[in-house]
Structure 1
Amino acid sequence: MKKYILIIAFISTVFSAKAQDLTTFFKKADAFFKANVSNGKVAYDKIHANQAQLNEVLKIAENISVEKSDAKNYQAFWINAYNLSVIKGLIDKYPTKSPLDNAGFFDKTKHNIGGKNITLNDIEHKLLRGNFKEPRFHFVLVCGAVGCPPLISKAYLPNTLDAQLEAQTKKAINGSFIQVNSKKNRVQVSQIMEWYKEDFKTKEMDEIDFINKYRTEKLEGKWKLSYFPYNWTINKQ
């Protein structure tokens, strides 16, 4: 009986430690974003001059393990991990004018996160999009460029994640993500909706239906949809 009690106590300790690490990660990530992000832009000069805060939160992220069945914690962790890793990737190549100026930035450069040695594309396409059908991910995963949806000055947290996903999607759909010509019934949208067309369409819904789900001023009637070029300039303050 004593043996089983010790095993249970050990398991409880391990789970408690993991929960504590995750809580610490969210807290440190939140502090980092608040200190270094404003109006969707990142203070790369400031971070480059003193990288301790960024390195600290990424060090915590190295050994965190979250099961995908724990969906909110899992999604919040990997969204923040992606955004932090983008910043780290740009800082490692700083000064730089664009993430695309660095070969393999998204598909070759590895990041030690969550017990894995993975690329940014792995996080986005395998761990997030590969496990969840959630088009709103595209409005919170920020690739370090002006054309991306804006980075928020706080961490994504499990208890507020759905509201944050919703808010950022509405902000994009009602903002610069879309350009509407009402006279000609033409709407141009970010190339994100072209690259990931399958994420925004279902049997019951097309891209215009998706837009109208979040847009305050609905697009009534028939509209011609096209895409405007992506701006890959670094999202620097």
Structure 2
Amino acid sequence: MRVLIRQAVFGLLLSAAACQTGCAYVRYFTPLTLTSKNSRPVNHAPWDALLKKHVDAQGMVNYTAFQADSTALNTYLVTLSDNVPNNTWSEQERLAYWLNAYNAFTIQRVIRAYPLKSIRDLGGSLTLVNTVWDQPFIRLGNEKHTLNDIEQRIIRKKFEEPRIHFALVCAAMSCPRLRNEAYIASRLNEQLDDQATNFINDPTKNKLTPADKPEVSSIFNFYPRDFAQGDNTIQKTINRYATQKINPDATLSYLTYDWSVNEQRK
């Protein structure tokens, strides 16, 4: 009997330990449906003004200046929190909202701890479990959510749009540039194309020569299936926007990701 009790207790402890890691991971396989019944499409002009003021053409961020403007940023984020998209919004309005939300809440998280060397310093090291992207600091409606909830459970699950990976910016040097204007529904396709073109042709992000063995961003390695919908491939995605084409069957290798913060440097 004592042996059976010990085995049962041991099993419970193992289950508890697994749920501290695995259960947190599994939640990201589940789409997240959030809605605000009476919400209307948000005016992103306040976010646009902050980006124009504190982000340069290369996407580098003046986090110290953002700290000084934290009241304006927080006011905009309250507007987002109180106006979660619903089905009366167009798809472009919803996607623009979520892209702006991810980037703006990321800025908020960074400036709360700035100065820092890397956004990864703000959390643990277990991907999809205890990183900074798994911290529930984002109020959406009446509940708290994480950056991974926005990216993994909403944007990637509900929008079949690989260009989002050229628009979501996690405050790191190897991320795409932070666009110094807000995403808006009326220009969203143009903006995403411009982000893709800028990212793919940036030699600090992708080295497209030699054409048969290019070194490309690890983003393509992080999300390979997002670039392989239908008959699409990573190589086709790159060539759609690249000025220097790679071979259709090129052997890809992936650059080491630079997680140092994307701050403006004097």
TM-score computed with the length of structure 2 as normaliser: 0.77
Question: For 2:47, which of 12, 15, 29 is the aligned residue?
Answer: 29
CA 1:221–1:81: 2 relative to 1, 3 Å? closer
Q: Is the 8 A contact 1:110 1:118 kept in 2?
A: yes
- 1:51 equivalent to 2:70? Answer yes
One-letter code aligned to 1:224: T
CA 1:115–1:109: 2 relative to 1, 3 Å? closer
State the Cα RMSD in Å.
1.8
Q: Shift of residue 151 of structure 1?
A: 0.4
Does the residue aligned with 2:42 lie in a helix, a strand or coil?
helix
For residues 79 and 114 of structure 1, what CA distance do their matches in structure 2 show? 17
Task: Report the counterpart of residue 211 of structure 1 in structure 2.
Answer: 238
- 1:199 equivalent to 2:219? Answer no
Structure-to-structure mapping, 1:77-226, within 5 angstroms:
77-103=97-123, 104-113=131-140, 115-176=142-203, 177-182=205-210, 185-220=212-247, 222-226=249-253
For residues 221 and 59 of structure 1, what CA distance do their matches in structure 2 show? 46
Of Structure 1 and Structure 2, the greater strand share is in: 1
For residues 84 and 63 of structure 2, what CA distance do their matches in structure 1 show? 29
Post-superposition Cα deviations, 1:143-163, rounded to whole Å, max 9, x if no partner, equal 001110000111000100111
Q: Is the 8 A contact 1:73 1:158 kept in 2?
A: yes
Q: Is the 8 A contact 2:54 2:66 kept in 1?
A: yes
Does the residue aligned with 2:252 lie in a helix, a strand or coil?
strand
- 1:65 equivalent to 2:92? Answer no
One-letter code aligned to 1:113: L
Does the residue aligned with 2:178 lie in a helix, a strand or coil?
coil
Task: Report the counterpart of residue 10 of structure 1 in structure 2.
Answer: none
Does the residue aligned with 2:215 lie in a helix, a strand or coil?
strand
One-letter code aligned to 2:174: G
For residues 248 and 150 of structure 2, what CA distance do their matches in structure 1 show? 38
Percent identity reads 33
Q: After the TM superposition, which segments of 4 or more aligned residues of structure 1 sit over 3 Å from their partners? A: 113-116
Q: Is the 8 A contact 1:64 1:115 kept in 2?
A: no
For residues 116 and 216 of structure 1, what CA distance do their matches in structure 2 show? 45
TM-score computed with the length of structure 1 as normaliser: 0.86
